[in-house]
Structure 1
């Protein structure tokens, strides 16, 4: 290990103090009985902090807290696994796999993908009494979760966060796996990822859920309910260490659970923010926090007595988790984001060492360099992983990375060209005529004569006005 590599793996004392200061401030100003946090960089936990008391002790990385709606991200992972195995399509209507949802008109046609992204139009909450403070036995069937009027908006028209929607997804998992949601989650996600301190029921040591009086420094114990059918929306308990590992998985993927491509899909915006919230997009079971310079992915959670936040930057390789045992107080999604930002700004990521490619396809190499779409100048660069990058040579414009396919084409991974096909069109002699990108023709010269430019090229060519 070189000195520089070692320096990049550990946080500086000043950064560690800044993280502890921010965490201590959140616990103190938020009046949380206890608060724990952790930071991950490049796949390793590099900082932990705890404040307050759980059973007379400062909480640590092994102390369980309830994580509320971060549970939804775990449920989404199970659904994506079903999709990747070919057992469902995200465009499938719910009724195709879960006929019991047909108790109410309209719910049948909500798609799996719409439920994941909260665009199905379903109500935000189950009917009274409030499901988070009542036992799951109050709602023994889906009809009790959905109520008489389950839809609040036209299906697919807007983002509207829905807890019952994730109850339906949990029931979908049980239907297709033939086993309880909790069991499927344990065998397919928790055990492979080594999340041994994440569970549906609390396991000592764990924090008690508490409410803090808004006008006095006194506490009230909150009830801890088994949520029954609502469990896939908010049941889980976990620790900072387990959630840190889960954040690494959400950034990188793990072939034992979900591929890197599938977790990237989870992090891709699938729904715009709700009215009045311009900072928060939603992917598939993942919230996307839009900051000025970057987007963080993760999820926030709450249940009576508990708050939780998990945020990470895949690009920078930094994640943070924060957990507290209070009904209201510190904004832990914000805290997690600030911890990530603190590390990124104090210690910018050291770039990977550049190395030349081991080999190169000469047919691909000749594609590198400048291309023109009309009069717009673009540059095409080869990546070391056999992919391509296309972007404007100056100013702003449509830029994208492309993944190489077995048939010699490339598929767009982001931006305007995400999912679009890029192909090199060759003449009979094998030379490259042009690039075709979703019907856009890129040529080596602006409006190159003889190239199949849509609409043709005026035979008079370029001219001046004297």
Structure 2
């Protein structure tokens, strides 16, 4: 190892045990590699709180959504063998597949494998069978078949929105076209060639491994309940692997896929699918591309859920890969550690200087007489509940919210503006011509408009108004309130934030409502569901 790596490893060996104790994380495994060798790899803590065994570099962890990266690679192996086509409608492989939509007819016939792997098909995140809230009565096949009962959040291909369901369908297509379980195909075509002996999607193998890490999440520990292990979301989040195996997988990417996948097809995986104009970063096929340090490209995919947190990334220009696996949900050490390693190894950055915000994080945009500012003004809400308010005042636009300390409406394009990071944003219209979305062109992320301009008047049946609890396998994890607000019903999460977001609802059928973010509230099902998450009424 180089002196720089030696110093980094020494720092990590001294600081990580303290960090795990501080954040009450039972155990972790961490490693660094380059394209030729594993530079450092170590385990810390135990597989389970109080009764676990010491973690080593062969201990299996659930990596949750990091599984999507491996599933995408597996699909590309089938593409390389001319067994699948990225741009063929998936109904060629699943002729019975349908999905519901208020945006277009026969959307299933428009969805391709490229849409599935890039999260651009329009799917919601959860399915009726097998989700982050309820496993349901069914296996991987039943889970995938139940996706036909879900509603799309936007027209096929309109933009990127993260979802488990597309990746699971991609894995199901492998299972159907190859006549073998998805986990067996991946074992034969991906794990065996790379020598990944401690990696598996096989739920029976995982459950039988007495030395695997056990997931921890405080609500479940407080309730004295174990977290599920056999979860039907196999392709999207079912992988268990060791830190040593994960580093060997990363090395294949650092070697441009030479041990496994054609380089040109690998570049297809890295390319942003359906990019916005000028988009530089975002989601390719099963992975993110981003800039963690100025000028330093990082390819990565993390995973979070069922009591685990994981981060896997590599920096092509530095020829370095990083993996951190943990068996606790209640922290963000996996991301903090990966970012710290990249910062340590990256060249000294030239820091960007962002314009200073005005009082209240609010700044005026340029005067304009060409734009219909009233058509742009409103509240726009993102996937992680980040919010931007666009205000039209005295012929000027003003923006308030995350990373919006400066905003300028360009004279050349009244639908485009800039934020404080000098990222360009644009307003997008729906099929009816209404401004409905605000998209960051740097990475393609979209916020959804949440105001009366895009919400036709609807009336909520008073019997449905009230408080509802969402539970994950019987343990309450979120509380919602549904009520009539003026001309629109709304659904909002109850938390400690007095300014919590309440999403407007539009009636689309008897007891069916579409939220501003494209999720469906079904008050006619038993139990009621929101985004396919079961809700239990709280008697007040």
Q: TM-score range by the shorter chain?
A: 0.5 to 0.7
Unaligned runs of 5+ in 2: 101-105, 349-540
Indicate the residue corresponding to 1:95 in structure 2: 91
Spell out, residue by residue over 1:199-230, the C-alpha distance to the aligned partner (whole angstroms, 9 max, x if none): 1242342111111369xx979553233233x2
d(CA) in 2 for partners of 1:256, 1:94: 29
Indicate the residue corresponding to 2:109 in structure 1: 108
Please show how residues 422-437 of structure 1 align to structure 2 within 5 Å: none
The structure with the greater share of residues assigned to strand is 2
Contact in 2 for aligned 1:210/1:220 (Cα 8 Å): no
Please show how residues 171-210 of structure 1 align to structure 2 within 5 Å: 171-200=172-201, 201-202=205-206, 203-210=209-216
Contact in 2 for aligned 1:252/1:263 (Cα 8 Å): no
Deviation at 1:57, TM superposition (A): 4.1
Structure 1 residue corresponding to 2:35, chosen from 42, 47, 68: 42
Indicate the residue corresponding to 2:309 in structure 1: 307
Deviation at 1:309, TM superposition (A): 0.6
Aligned partner of residue 75 in structure 1, secondary structure: helix
Deviation at 1:35, TM superposition (A): 1.6
Indicate the residue corresponding to 2:23 in structure 1: 30
Q: Does 1:259 align with 2:294?
A: no
Name the CA shift for 1:15/1:65 in 2 (closer, same or farther; >3 Å). Answer: same
d(CA) in 2 for partners of 1:246, 1:220: 36
Indicate the residue corresponding to 1:379 in structure 2: none
d(CA) in 2 for partners of 1:46, 1:175: 40
Total equivalences in the alignment? 332
Indicate the residue corresponding to 1:386 in structure 2: none
Unaligned runs of 5+ in 1: 1-6, 347-466
Indicate the residue corresponding to 1:15 in structure 2: 8
Contact in 2 for aligned 1:119/1:159 (Cα 8 Å): yes
d(CA) in 1 for partners of 2:247, 2:42: 13
d(CA) in 1 for partners of 2:26, 2:280: 29
Q: Does 1:270 align with 2:276?
A: no
Structure 1 residue corresponding to 2:76, chosen from 72, 75, 80: 80
Indicate the residue corresponding to 1:71 in structure 2: 67
Indicate the residue corresponding to 1:122 in structure 2: 123
| Structure-2-length-normalised TM-score | 0.56
Deviation at 1:59, TM superposition (A): 1.4
Root-mean-square deviation (CA), in Å?
2.9
Aligned partner of residue 269 in structure 1, secondary structure: coil
| Structure-1-length-normalised TM-score | 0.65
d(CA) in 2 for partners of 1:62, 1:74: 18
Deviation at 1:143, TM superposition (A): 6.5
Name the CA shift for 1:339/1:226 in 2 (closer, same or farther; >3 Å). Answer: same
Deviation at 1:149, TM superposition (A): 3.5
Contact in 1 for aligned 2:36/2:251 (Cα 8 Å): yes
Aligned partner of residue 321 in structure 1, secondary structure: strand
Please show how residues 119-158 of structure 1 align to structure 2 within 5 Å: 119-127=120-128, 130-131=131-132, 133-134=134-135, 137=138, 140-141=141-142, 144-158=145-159
Indicate the residue corresponding to 2:242 in structure 1: 239
d(CA) in 1 for partners of 2:140, 2:175: 17
Contact in 2 for aligned 1:211/1:222 (Cα 8 Å): no
Aligned partner of residue 39 in structure 1, secondary structure: strand
d(CA) in 1 for partners of 2:281, 2:124: 19
Deviation at 1:313, TM superposition (A): 0.5
Contact in 2 for aligned 1:309/1:332 (Cα 8 Å): yes
Indicate the residue corresponding to 1:333 in structure 2: 335
Deviation at 1:94, TM superposition (A): 0.9
Indicate the residue corresponding to 1:248 in structure 2: 251
Spell out, residue by residue over 1:293-328, the C-alpha distance to the aligned partner (whole angstroms, 9 max, x if none): 212112101221111110110121111101111122
Larger Rg: 1
Spell out, residue by residue over 1:102-151, the C-alpha distance to the aligned partner (whole angstroms, 9 max, x if none): 36541231111111110111112213774465256177536753153431
Contact in 2 for aligned 1:211/1:220 (Cα 8 Å): no
